[in-house]
Amino acid sequence: KILIIGACGQIGSELTLALRALYGNEQVIASDIREGNEELMRSGSFEILDATDKNTITSCVRKHKITDVYLMAAMLSATAEKYPDKAWDLNMNSLFHVLDLARDKEIRKVFWPSSIAVFGPSTPKRDTPQQTVMEPSTVYGISKLSGERWCEYYFKNYGVDVRSIRYPGLISWKTSPGGGTTDYAIEIYHKALQQGTYECFLGKDTVLPMMYMEDAIRATISIMQADAQSIRVRSSYNLAAISFDPEEMAETIKEHIPDFTISYAPDFRQKIADTWPQSIDDSSAREDWGWKARYDLKTITADMLSNLQSLV
Ligand code: VAH
């Protein structure tokens, strides 16, 4: 049985639905610090669970006979800069609790999300390699780099089968943005439909690696289904789809909403974005477990606008 911790988050909410569709609703237990939306709550079991509380996680694992845990709870980059100690506590202690359960054979397999935020200002910005200089300067990036090092340590020293992906910025419509620096790429569609204009909190030339949620969910399921010996990277895999700046994104929106306008008012999140790469080399993920992105910016814009249009 599968337990998703952080099932109400941007990735967790869609991952829960995808895993329930794949394995059956009764095989997937969703959990979060608070209840989720109606679709999430209606489709299967749900537990209120604080990801920093090891006792609650342990009793949930034993109650439901959990074998696989997807630990999706985290504080993202923008919010983490405001609450460094809370971000470290949530992002790190939740990981130690789950890795320790795997070390102690209470569970069999772990998925843990990392991020391109593990790269810093000194990292090569184009086609960032799987192995390279990593000096993250954000609280979130520091916690994700430390987490990667611990995942590899638990694999090498205790044989823990933990698998991880460095997600780029993720674009989705099912949940509202959650404190990320890349959330402009979600807000822009809502504002385009509601107001026909968007004031972007990143500058127009800010190129960042991005991915549609459908691609991210497929990658997550794919790495977890791969044979253990094909997973040669036990820190975290680079993953890539597309790279673009807000201006390019606005151009694809104008193809659907001709008089859409964008303006720029960079805020504190510009400093975070400026430390991240512009494009990622994901050849290790392609070679080891057959990864390949499907969505490009035009298809993302078409899909986002049609889904959001049906919501407003
Ligand atoms: C954030 N969406 O903005 C997350 C992600 C690469 C960005 O880690 O913090």
Q: Quick one: how far is CA 39 from the chain centroid?
A: 20
Q: What is the pLDDT of residue 175?
A: 86
Å from CA of 182 to ligand 1 middle: 6
Binding site membership of 136 for ligand 1 (Cβ less than 6 Å) = no
Å from CA of 142 to ligand 1 middle: 13
Long-range contacts of 79-86 (CB under 8 A, 24+ apart): 79/178, 79/179, 80/138, 80/139, 80/140, 80/143, 80/179, 81/138, 81/139, 81/140, 81/268, 81/272, 84/139
Q: What is the pLDDT of residue 12?
A: 96
Q: What is the pLDDT of residue 178?
A: 82
**Tokens coding 111:** 């998925």
Cα angle 85, 271, 145; round to 5: 50
| Catalytic-residue membership of 140 | yes
Of 140, 144, 208, the residue with max ligand 1 atoms within 8 A of its CB, to mutate for a pocket test, comes to 140
Low-confidence ranges of the chain (pLDDT < 50): none
The neighbour count for residue 222, using CB atoms within 10 Å, is 15
Å from CA of 166 to ligand 1 middle: 10
How large is the angle between the packed helices 139-158 and 94-103, nearest 10 degrees?
10
CA dist 95 and 74 (Å) reads: 10
Q: What is the pLDDT of residue 310?
A: 86
Q: What is the pLDDT of residue 312?
A: 65
**Residues 6 or more apart whose Cβ sits within 8 Å of residue 112:** 71, 95, 98, 147, 151, 162, 163, 164, 236
Q: What is the pLDDT of residue 268?
A: 95
Binding site membership of 184 for ligand 1 (Cβ less than 6 Å) = no
Binding site membership of 76 for ligand 1 (Cβ less than 6 Å) = yes
**Ligand 1 nearest-atom number relative to CA 209:** 6
**Residues 6 or more apart whose Cβ sits within 8 Å of residue 30:** 4, 7, 8, 12, 16, 36, 40, 44, 45, 46, 47
CA dist 20 and 1 (Å) reads: 11
Q: What is the pLDDT of residue 37?
A: 87
**Tokens coding 223:** 């790495």
CA dist 82 and 86 (Å) reads: 9
Q: What is the pLDDT of residue 24?
A: 97
CB 246 within 8 A of CB 264: yes
- Would the ipTM clear 0.85, i.e. be above it? yes
Q: Tell me whether strands 68-71 and 237-238 are parallel, antiparallel or unpaired.
A: unpaired
